[in-house]
């Protein structure tokens, strides 16, 4: 008996057909590449160039070398915004992912009214973040807000959600978590569908408790999903803008000023200092890229 002869695959390069395929591929890619170039890469390069200029909204810019970066180093507000952003990220990313995981594990079971609960948790994601921010303002307004109203009805004193820096940050964090946790939950629920039930069953047969099964078997199997969620939440947290802009306007003082709100205020606020605003943006970009690279490396190492 002879083995069947297998036809070698056609060469991928150097033929008329492959060149035609490449042309089609480029043609298909072209619209996206064009959009990315015009609306993403172009402005990015432009922002880098403006960071080295003294440039206001009207009139040409003048090259100023590293002046903007020197100003940045001595700018207390920038450092405060950086610290605020780091604190905000350090709280929202782990808490948001863990809450999403917890809710996903809960909703993955045969819970009565599961669909309704899932919808309620996911709802903030499908409405505009501006709307959720306005709801946050309605809830946490210190004088006429719903939260303080309920506290007053319970005989408790009003809480300084807007005039105390720490509490203002807490209110922003709460609203951010509320609007994000649904996304983490849905992604985790999807990932849980892929967990092999035989593996879970085997752990139970081996005597693992439900907690041990979750902690030692299910959660490790969700690692790629966790990596994705941590990364995306990290980027979102560094880019936080609307919830701060609407709820606190960066205040009280600079207690909730973030890097993006500061860049916006400098670049598009009344100062219209495009050069300095771009400098803050460039620093934010570099930090985000560094954190992403670190996270990717860490994940790659742990997979190996």
Partner 1 sequence: MLRGGAAVGALWGASTLAGCAGLTQRVSSTSSGGGDRVTMQVYGTDTETAVYARLCDQFAADRGVTVDLTVVPFADFATGIDAGLLSGTAPDVFRVDYPTMGLYAATGQLLDVTDPLDELAQDVRPALMAAVTYGERRFGIPQHVDTSALVYRPDVLRDAGVGAVPDRPEDAWSWEEFGEVADRLRDSGGDDRSAFAVNWQAAGAFRWLNWLFAAGGHLYTEDLGAAALDDDAGRRALDFTRSFFENGWVPGTTSTKSPTYPDAQFTAGRLAMLCAGNFLVPAFAETIGDRFEYAVTYLPRDERRASELGGNALVATKDSGNPELASELLVHLASPDAMRQFCEASVLLPTRESLASQDLDFVVGGDLMGVYADQVATIEDRDVEDVTTPTFAEVNVDLANELEECFLGGRSTDDTLRAIAEKVTASAALNDGAGS
Give least dist CB 155 to partner 1, A.
12
Whichever of 11 and 157 has its CB closer to partner 1, that residue is 157
Sole window of 24-32, 40-48, 52-60, 281-289 interacting with partner 1 (rule: CB under 8 A): 52-60
As given in the structure block, the two tokens for residue 294 are 């670190």
H-type alpha helices, 154-273: 165-193, 197-205, 210-212, 219-221, 223-238, 242-247, 259-268
Based on the shown chain and the rule CB under 8 A, indicate whether residue 57 belongs to the binding site for partner 1.
Answer: yes
| Contacting residue, 69, 86, 122, 142, with partner 1 by CB under 8 A | 142
User: Judged by CB under 8 A, which of 68, 129, 162, 225 binds partner 1?
Assistant: 162
- Residue of 268, 250, 266 lying closest to 258 (CA atoms): 250
Among 248, 261, 275, 282, interactor with partner 1 by CB under 8 A = 248
Cα 36 from Cα 51, distance rounded (Å) = 21
Q: Cα torsion for 38, 39, 41, 46, to the nearest 10°?
A: 90
Out of 143, 153, 205, 304, the residue judged to bind partner 1 by CB under 8 A? 143
The nearer residue to partner 1, 37 or 253, going by C-beta atoms, is 253
The DSSP element (H or E) to which 53 belongs, if any, is strand 53-54
Candidate list 18, 21, 163, 166; residue touching partner 1; CB under 8 A: 163
d(CA 105, CA 210): 11
Q: Confirm or reject binding of residue 251 to partner 1 (CB under 8 A).
A: yes
Does position 62 interact with partner 1 (CB under 8 A)? The reply is no
268 binds partner 1 (CB under 8 A): yes
Q: Are 299 and 229 in contact (CB under 8 A)?
A: no
Interface pick for partner 1 out of 270, 301, 303, 304 (rule CB under 8 A):
270
The CB-of-264 to partner 1 minimum distance in angstroms stands at 10
How many positions of this chain bind partner 1 (CB under 8 A)?
30
Q: Are 68 and 238 in contact (CB under 8 A)?
A: no
Under rule CB under 8 A, residue 160 binds partner 1: yes
Cβ of residue 147: shortest distance to partner 1, in angstroms?
A: 13
Is residue 272 a contact point for partner 1 (CB under 8 A)?
yes
Place of tokens 């969620």: 229
Calpha distance 148→159 (Å, rounded): 6
Please report whether residue 70 would count as binding partner 1 according to CB under 8 A. Answer: no
Buried b (16+ CB within 10 A) or exposed e, 165-178: bebbbbbbbbbbbb
If one asks whether residue 26 binds partner 1 (CB under 8 A), the answer comes out as: no
Cα angle 259, 228, 30; round to 5: 85
Q: Which residues pair with 56 in a beta bridge?
A: 273
With binding defined as CB under 8 A, does residue 150 bind partner 1?
no
Residue 249 makes contact with partner 1 by CB under 8 A: yes
Phi and psi angles of residue 178, each rounded to the nearest 5 degrees, phi first: -60, -40
146 touching partner 1, by CB under 8 A: no
Residue 220 interacting with partner 1 (CB under 8 A) = no
Query: Which sign does the torsion angle of CA 245, 82, 52, 39 carry?
Result: negative
> From the list 6, 13, 144, 205, which residue makes contact with partner 1 (rule: CB under 8 A)?
144
| Shortest distance, position 143 Cβ to partner 1, whole Å | 5
Beta bridge partners of 63: 53
The whole-angstrom separation of Cα 232 and Cα 292 is 9
Residues that bind partner 1 (CB under 8 A): 57-59, 77, 137, 141-144, 157-158, 160, 162-163, 246-254, 265, 268-273
């Amino acid at each position: 008996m002879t083995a069947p002869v297998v036809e070698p695959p056609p060469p991928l390069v150097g033929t008329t057909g492959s060149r035609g395929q490449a042309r089609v591929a480029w043609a298909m890619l072209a619209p996206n590449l064009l959009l990315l170039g015009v609306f993403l890469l172009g402005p990015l390069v432009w922002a880098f160039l403006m960071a080295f200029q003294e440039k206001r909204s009207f009139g040409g810019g003048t090259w100023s070398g590293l002046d903007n970066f020197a100003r940045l180093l001595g700018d207390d507000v920038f450092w405060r915004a950086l610290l605020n952003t780091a604190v905000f990220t350090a709280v929202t990313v782990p808490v948001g992912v863990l809450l999403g995981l917890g809710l996903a594990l809960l909703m993955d079971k045969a819970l009565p009214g599961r669909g309704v609960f899932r919808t309620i948790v996911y709802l903030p994601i499908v409405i505009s973040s501006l709307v959720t921010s306005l709801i946050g303002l309605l809830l946490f307004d210190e004088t006429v807000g719903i939260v303080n109203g309920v506290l007053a009805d319970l005989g408790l004193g009003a809480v300084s959600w807007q005039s105390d820096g720490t509490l203002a940050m807490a209110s922003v964090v709460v609203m951010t978590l509320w609007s994000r946790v649904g996304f983490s939950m849905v992604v985790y629920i999807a990932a849980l569908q892929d967990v092999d039930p035989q593996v879970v069953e085997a752990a139970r047969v081996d005597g693992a408790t439900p907690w041990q099964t979750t902690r030692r078997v299910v959660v490790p199997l969700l690692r790629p999903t966790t990596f994705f969620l941590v990364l995306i939440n990290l980027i979102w947290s560094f880019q936080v803008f609307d919830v701060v802009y609407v709820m606190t306007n960066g205040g009280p003082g600079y207690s909730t000023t973030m890097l993006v709100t500061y860049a916006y205020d400098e670049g598009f606020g009344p100062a219209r200092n495009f050069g300095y605003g771009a400098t803050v943006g460039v620093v934010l970009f570099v930090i985000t890229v560094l954190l992403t690279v670190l996270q990717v490396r860490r994940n790659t190492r742990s997979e190996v």
